[in-house]
Amino acid sequence: MDLSDPDERTRWRERLGQMFEDRQVICAGGPLAAYTEWVRLLEACGARRPLLLAAGRGAGAIPASGSAEVVALEVPLLGSMTAELAALDGMLRHLPEKIRRRVEEYDTAGEACWLVPPFVRSEPILGRAVIGGRPAAWARLEDKATVESLWDAVEQPHAPHVVVPCDADHVLPAAAELDAGQGTVWVADGFNGGGELVRWVVTETEAADALTFFGSRARKLRVMPFLDGVPCSVHGIVLPDGTAAFRPVELAILRDGRHRFVYGGQGTTWSPPEADRREMRTLVRRTGEHLRRTCDYRGAFGIDGVLTEDGFRPTELNPRFSGGLAAMARGIDMAAFNLLHLNLVTGRDPHVGVEELESWALPLLDSRPFARALAMVHEPVLDGPLEMPAAWDGSVLRRDPGGDWLMEAAPTAAGIYVRLAPLRPLEPGLRLGELNVALMRMLDRELGTSFGALEAAPDVRSAIPTGQ
């Protein structure tokens, strides 16, 4: 199959979409704006009008009037993305009685399916099939305290580390031994979103504060040296005939003078040296095949890490359709990637192989670079959605009605979600990290947030020859 042929790709996408044809679909787990593309996709697949259990409005356009049935889902304000995502599965399995009645009224035959994020288990909800969730064995792969064994299994160089009980007697000696001069990074066991349970520790005061912070949030900590360099990720899709590997994505993980990590967005305007790119894609293939052998894994996954002076050092596995891949896919054919992943995780034939997918996707991903800066604000600076056009001069982002960027913000259950999107095509070379710093400085000026003085991680690898 030649996926570069629009007609062939249309036929392929239609075949993938048959999983929703003439089917009722209940979408749950996100704000209303998050369902806009899904409603259009479900309509294109021939699904019946979906039921949306929406947790707030969200940032951006919402589904067209009449295109879906919408029910407001009240989500408790849990104060963090990690807590919100961890609570999602339980919330959907213990819905309020009025929501349960609405589901039964929508689907009187009990034959609808749920379309949910990967943080929901794949077991049925209210007797109805779940699409988009994952088995418990796949979810456990995301445990930050066990992932280092995966790098050993696939023979990938990684930073030294120890996993110890979360108390001073174990953590402090481990940190002293592993500190290579720039402090250590402590990560809580289990799942955490947006790096909320990660701390960069350099001073004794920071160590004491971190132990207090983790005391009620972790049983164990993974301790490793601080890695300097560009944070980045690389993604793959496990297919029946192998693992497709895509290009690296820059992650805007910013820092400040208090050794604080602040998480932003993703972009592909930056690229690592070619030899590092090849190594990262090889790691994806080895990892995908290992996951297939050990837990029958299928579908998309991502590997996060840092491009250090010594090369790429992985730090975590995201066994799901993660943000970097979603952002890349949006630039070439988001519907096809979403349907491909959903077909794979439900055990359906995807009608495509590794060579076909890579030969179509890789050139397009390289020719259509993107930079999407993001921010999560935990202060009550907005009570509704906001749009603000802006211009960036390479250093400062300013409000500008004629600017080339659009800042969108809206309250969510975890805080105020902010994204910055370009209004014109981008050229390679832009560092997403620097753009994300400019976004947060603009939020401080315009909305009174308190991100403070931040800086992007340095590119310590590009100047070093890597072709040997």
Question: What is the spatial distance between Cα 163 and Cα 221, in angstroms, rounded to a whole number?
Answer: 6
pLDDT for 81? 66
User: In sequence order, which residues have a C-beta less than 8 Å from that of residue 124 and are 6 or more positions away?
Assistant: 130
Does the pLDDT of residue 250 top 70, yes or no?
yes
First-last CA distance in the chain: 36
Does the pLDDT of residue 359 top 50, yes or no?
yes
pLDDT for 353? 97
For 171, which DSSP code?
A: H
pLDDT for 117? 92
Predicted TM-score (pTM) of this structure: 0.92
Of 251, 215, 246, the residue nearest 231 (C-alpha): 251
Does the pLDDT of residue 84 top 80, yes or no?
no
What pLDDT digit, counting tens, does each position of 418-436 carry? 999 999 989 888 999 999 9
The pair of structure tokens assigned to 416 is 């105020």
Residue 258 confidence class, pLDDT cut points 50, 70, 90: confident
**Radius of gyration for the alpha carbons in the chain, expressed in angstroms and rounded:** 22
Residue 463 confidence class, pLDDT cut points 50, 70, 90: low
pLDDT for 415? 83
For 311, which DSSP code?
A: E
pLDDT for 12? 97
pLDDT for 357? 98
pLDDT for 78? 58
Length of the chain, please? 468
Query: What value does the mean pLDDT take over residues 120-133?
Result: 95
Question: What is the spatial distance between Cα 325 and Cα 245, in angstroms, rounded to a whole number?
Answer: 11
Question: Each residue of 184-204: b (16+ CB within 10 Å) or e?
Answer: bbbbbbbbbbbbbbbbbbbee
Query: Which amino acid, one-letter code, is at 402?
Result: G
Give me the torsion for CA of 51, 57, 59, 61, rounded to 10°: 50
Question: What is the spatial distance between Cα 179 and Cα 182, in angstroms, rounded to a whole number?
Answer: 7
Query: What value does the mean pLDDT take over residues 182-209?
Result: 91
The pair of structure tokens assigned to 431 is 């560092």
Cα-based distances in Å from 324 to 263, 321, 429: 13, 8, 18
Higher per-residue confidence, 64 vs 466: 64
Give me the torsion for CA of 38, 42, 45, 49, rounded to 10°: -170
Average pLDDT over the chain, rounded to an integer = 93
User: In sequence order, which residues have a C-beta less than 8 Å from that of residue 12 and are 6 or more positions away?
Assistant: 1, 3, 336, 351, 352
